[in-house]
Structures are given as C-alpha cells and as structure tokens.
Structure 1
Amino acid sequence: MSNILISGITGFVGSNLKKYLEGEYNVIGISRGSNSKEGILSYKELFDYDFSSIKAFVHLAGKAHDLKKVSNDQEYFKVNFELTKDIFDFFLESTCEVFIYMSSVKAVADEIEGELTEGYKSNPITAYGKSKLAAEEYILTKKIPDNKRVYILRPCMIHGPNNKGNLNLLYNFVSKGIPYPFGVYENKRSFLSVENLCSVIKELIEKPVESGIYNVADDVPLSTKELVKIIGDTINKKVKIWSMPKVIINLIAKIGDLLPLPINTERVQKLTENYVVSNEKIKQQIKKELPLSVKEGIKITIKSFNK
C-alpha cells in the first residue's frame, strides 16, 4: 500500500481527502498541531522524514481568505508562499513522485468576465490571491525531473457536509422561511463538491497526467436563485424570492459592514456575482466524468446542515 502525505490534513478538504483515500493508501498527515498517535507530523518533523516511501504529496495547508479583514499581508505570504516554497524544494530533492499544490481561482482574479480558463491572465487584488499566485509562479520556475509530476489546482468555491460559508447562510434563509431578497440579480457561478475535488486528486495521483495548472469545478454553474430552489427542494421548504431594488440592498449591505448583520457588502457580492469556471482541461486529461452532478453535491451539503 503506497503512502500519501497530506499537509493541512485537519482542515475541511484535508479531512475529507483522508477519508476518501484511506483503504487504498496509507495516509500520513502534516499539521501545526502534530499528533504522532494519529499519524500526524509537525512541519519540523516533515523535513526529517524519510520520503523514500512516499508516492505523492498533497499540499493543502494555507491561510484562507479572511472575511473579517484582520490579517496582514505578511501572514498570507508566510504561509501560502514561504511554506509552499520550502515544501516544494524538499519534494524536488526527494524520491516522491507526485506533488499537488492546492491554489485557488482567486490566484487569477476576484472578478472575471466570461469564463475562467487556465489561460486567463492573472491579476489578483487581495493578499490572499497574490500569495497563492506567488507560490504558483515559484513552482513554475523550477525544472521538473522526468520521473516526477507536479500539479497546481485552482478550485472554485468548495462545499461539502458541515462546511460553513455562503451555502450555510442561504440554508438559514430558506429553513427559517426568510425570503431571499436578491431575486433582481441574474447571475451564474461555479461550485465544487469536495467529493469531486477528492476524485480529481486521486486521479492525478494514479494517472500519468501532464504536469501543469488545472481549474477544478463542477460541470454546470448555477444562479443563486437556482441554488435557493435546490435548498428548498432538499429540505421540503417553500422558497420565497423577493426582487428587492438594488439601491436598498446596497444600503443594507453597507450597514452590515458596520453592524453584525447577516448581510454585508462582501456577502452580497459573493451571492450575486458571476464567476464561471471551466473544468474542460482537467476532464480531458483524466478522461473521466466527475462522480457528482452540481445538484447532487449541493443536496449532500444541505442535508448535512438539516441534521
């Protein structure tokens, strides 16, 4: 049984990936809070670890986008760039065959026109996006030995059982019978089920796919109104959608920037923006359909909230 090393194993994606791979692989985790009894290494222990038995390294650890805006830029670059740089250098010197770096679509742009493909020009505006892009660019400057494969994955919004975020906010709207007030917006955005992401990672570990950058998203984008209706169908709750004037929405959002309201400017943007991500390149490479449709994945996530 091959060994797989996963950094950030205690996080949302890491814990799901561990469950997904266990049984076929021996999973070894890396985390700031190491626990040898659970097979979790600290980062200090990592650099003393014997890599001769490791088939693949999945680097998930990173500093996530801070919605409260209390983090400084240096924190993002220390974790997302410097740590990645050190780990990737260590990988290149080791006998490990596969390196998978979890970047983000935010390394490209916070707002896009049309559809995001791997050829879209990168111009991130946040420290989070810039730090992710810096790590990507460092990896791409290195010559990859013939016996190794390196993948940079750019997932869009990941969701799954018990994951908190905007889906949880929408669930609260619907479950409590609160009308969804943004019906005036016509948008499309891509989502990514954590099971689909885990499936892609497993395929990259096992298949001789060409090294490079790959977007990861579910097949079909959804409007937020479609999303609200799926939530209602999943929990058997009648959905109310209001088309509140945008000027009133913007006013309430600005108040929410100052007071602890469930709606603020950033959340309104997330719920109503267009952000469509193409997954054609990765699907052509792995030559396999994703296990879950976007609606199936959303329903699984919502059912976990409903429990």
Structure 2
Amino acid sequence: MHVLVTGASGFVGSRLVEVLSAGEGVQVTSALRRQCVGGNHAVKQFNVGELSPETDWSEALEGVDVVVHAAARVHVMNDTASDPLTIFRKINVEGTLNLARQAVAAGVRRFVFISSIKVNGEGTVNGRSYTADDVPAPVDPYGVSKMEAEAGLREIAASSRLEVVVIRPVLVYGPGVKANFLNMMRWLDKGVPLPFGAINNSRSLVALDNLVDLIVVATAHPSAANQTFLVSDGEDLSTTQLLRRMAAALDKKALLLPVPSALLSLGASVLGKKSLSQRLCGSLQVDIEKTRSLLSWVPPVSVDQALKVTASYYMKRDN
C-alpha cells in the first residue's frame, strides 16, 4: 500500500508518517510545504508549497493508493483577517477538493480526511454527546470550512470510485503539544496556584497515538469506506480531573483553588475571554460507539499512559 500524507510535518502528520513507514508493506510519501533536511530516508518527500486550489499534485500522486489529508489552515485564536471564512474556504475547501479530484484522476482508492469536531459544534449540554451522524452545526469559519470540505468530498465520492473516510478529532494532545495544553503543563510544573479546582464539566480528548492508530485503521478497513467517525480516548474528564492527572504525570502536586465555574465564566467574559472560558468550563463529549463497532477499534493508549508520555517529552524538550 502506498500512502500520501499531507501536512506531514505537522503535529499529527509527522507522527502518522513515523507509524506508517514502520509498517510492513507500506510505502509513504510526505507532502510538505518545504523540503526537510534529514528525516526518514525511507519516506519520499514532495515539496507542495502552500496548499491552494491551484496546487499540482500529479507527481506526488503517482502510484498512490490512499491519501491521508491532514494539511489545513487550522483554527486561529483571535483571527485578525478581515474575511477569515474566505481564506479558510480557499485552503480547506477548494484546496482539499482540488486534491481529491486529482486523486480520482490518478486512480487513488481511498481519501482519508482529517476534519474537526467543530463540524458538530462548540459544546455539548445535559450529558448529551455528539455522534458522527448528527446534523452539523459549526459556529466559526474553521468549522464551516471543514463541513463544506466534507460535503464536497462526499459529492466526489458519489460520482467516482474514490472511497472517502472522514475523521473528526476532538482536542489532540501528546508529545510536542502546543497552545493551552502546553500552558497548563507549564503552570503545573511551576507550582502556580490555579482557580480550576471546582469545574464539573466533561470533555473528550484524544491522545496523538490513539488518533494516529485510528487513521492507520481507516486507510485499509473495508467498513470505513464512505463513513464519518468521531475519535476520543473513550474516557471523558473534567478540567479539574485533567489537571490533577496531568500533575501526577509530571510528578507534581496540583494547586487548584475551588473557584465556582460561574464566577470563572463571568470573569472571563469581562476580560473578553469567553471562548477560553468555554473550553475550560464548558462540556464537549463525543460518542465513539460507531467507531468502535464498525471498525472493531479500541483506543490502544489510556489517558494516564498518554499523559505520562506527553509529560516526559515536555520535561526533556520544553522545560
């Protein structure tokens, strides 16, 4: 099997390339914005430049059986673009569909699209989890662009022999994680008292190795064809629980102050940080029963195992 991975230098793509290239009978081509020096010499590199609707993929698609499309314009906090939806559409919709059409012409068998849980929405309430077959309800331009890309891919699949598999991850964490997850590790490592000791929300997360494992399964499993899957670790945590277990992975004591969630949300709104408050205090749960049953898939790594690996990387590289 010959797999083309786009976004191969990214957080998910780089780990996926590493795992795929270690598999028996798997040839991997990495699509990158720019050529990388060194790296895995068993992996062919294709310098694609910036993802766009005009990208010529013909050389990269030669002999490819499966495309895993992980490249995208990602969600940007405090986006300053005057028309962010237009930019997201150009890259995430038009760029994706351009690749898919060229994949059809090249005889590619399957297209695995790494989408986002933001297609479902921004949060769940009353203990109800998102499912893969819910009516999409994206809120921000990034989520809208991913939804439109999914719809376009399904149209291409319906009029060709290309099989499309859509995977919508929740928040991904693992070695090299950035943004808020990294900041929380830093706060815990430094012993900073945090006002997050009384948050009773429920959030689904997915360890990098669990997501990569599902992607690998999706490249070949017969039942994955033309399906949409949600993915998580299979264990939902409150922000308070996550911080305590993250601290344990760091071999630190979490100094969490029991400030009520309502007060935190009010303070965040006053400071113009409502979206941050939603991620810290709100719930977002996903139901992965379809993923489990159709693909006979079980997350291979537990939350605590994944946190330990993430913490170990942080202590060696980011500390």
Fold similarity call, TM over 0.5: yes
1:278 equivalenced with 2:287 (yes/no): yes
How is 1:1-307 mapped onto 2 (pairs within 5 angstroms)? 2-24=1-23, 25-34=26-35, 39-42=45-48, 46-49=56-59, 51-71=61-81, 72-113=84-125, 114-144=128-158, 148-209=162-223, 210-246=225-261, 248-250=263-265, 252-254=267-269, 256-257=271-272, 264-307=273-316
C-alpha distance in 1, partners of 2:141/2:311? 31
- Tell which deviates more after alignment, 74-83 or 48-57: 48-57
SS in 1 for 2:230: strand
Q: Can you list the C-alpha shifts for 1:248-287, whole angstroms capped at 9, x where unaligned?
A: 5345435654xxxxxx332222122100111111121221
1:58 match: secondary structure? strand
Aligned-partner SS, 2:166: strand
Shift, 1:127, TM fit = 0.5
Distance 1:252 1:100 in 2: 41
Q: How far did residue 68 of structure 1 move?
A: 2.2
**Uncovered stretches (5+) of structure 1, i.e. residues with no partner:** 258-263
Q: Separation in 1 of the partners of 2:250 and 2:48?
A: 41
C-alpha change, 1:222 and 1:50, in structure 2 (3 Å) is: closer
Query: What is the alpha-carbon distance in structure 1 between the residues aligned to residue 204 and residue 60 of structure 2?
Result: 40
- 2:32 and 2:45 in contact (8 A); partners too: no
Question: Aligned residues: percent identity?
Answer: 24
Q: What is the CA distance between 1:240 and its match in structure 2? A: 1.7
Amino acid at match of 1:42: V
Quick one: structure 1 residues 129 and 223, their matched pair in 2 at CA, closer, same or farther if it must change by over 3 Å? same
What amino acid is the match of 2:192?
I
SS of structure 2 residue aligned to 1:288 = coil
Cα distance, 1:178 vs structure 2: 1.5
* Structure 2 residue matching 1:186: 3-state secondary structure: coil
CA distance in 1, matches of 2:55, 2:78: 32
- How far apart are the structure 1 equivalents of 2:151 and 2:275? 28
TM (norm. structure 1) is 0.90
Tell me the residue number matched to 1:260: none
Amino acid of the residue matched to residue 71 of structure 2?
Answer: A
Structure 2 vs 1, CA of residues 85 and 102 (structure 1 numbering), >3 Å: closer, same or farther?
Answer: same
Q: Structure 1 residues 154-163 or 139-148, which shifts more? A: 139-148
**Are the structure 2 counterparts of residues 35 and 167 from structure 1 closer, same or farther at C-alpha, using a change threshold of 3 Å?**
closer
Conserved 8 A contact 1:166-1:271:
no
Secondary structure of residue in 1 paired with 2:222: coil
Change (3 A) 1:98 1:143: closer
Contact 2:221–2:295 (CA<8 Å) still a contact in 1?
yes
Partner AA of 2:19 in structure 1? Y
Select between 12-21 and 169-178 the one with higher mean Cα deviation: 169-178
Q: How many corresponding residue pairs?
A: 300
Q: Pairwise CA RMSD of aligned residues? A: 2.2
1:195-252: CA deviations, max 9, x gaps? 1111111112222123211111111111111111111211221122212245653454
- Separation in 2 of the partners of 1:195 and 1:283? 16
CA contact (8 A) 1:4 1:58 kept: yes
Preserved CA contact (<8 Å) 1:166 1:267:
no
Q: Please give the TM-score of this superposition, normalised by the length of structure 2.
A: 0.86
State the Cα deviation string for residues 127-146 of structure 1 (Å, max 9, x = none). 01111101111112234478
SS class of match (1:151): strand
Contact 2:101 2:156 in 1 (8 A): no
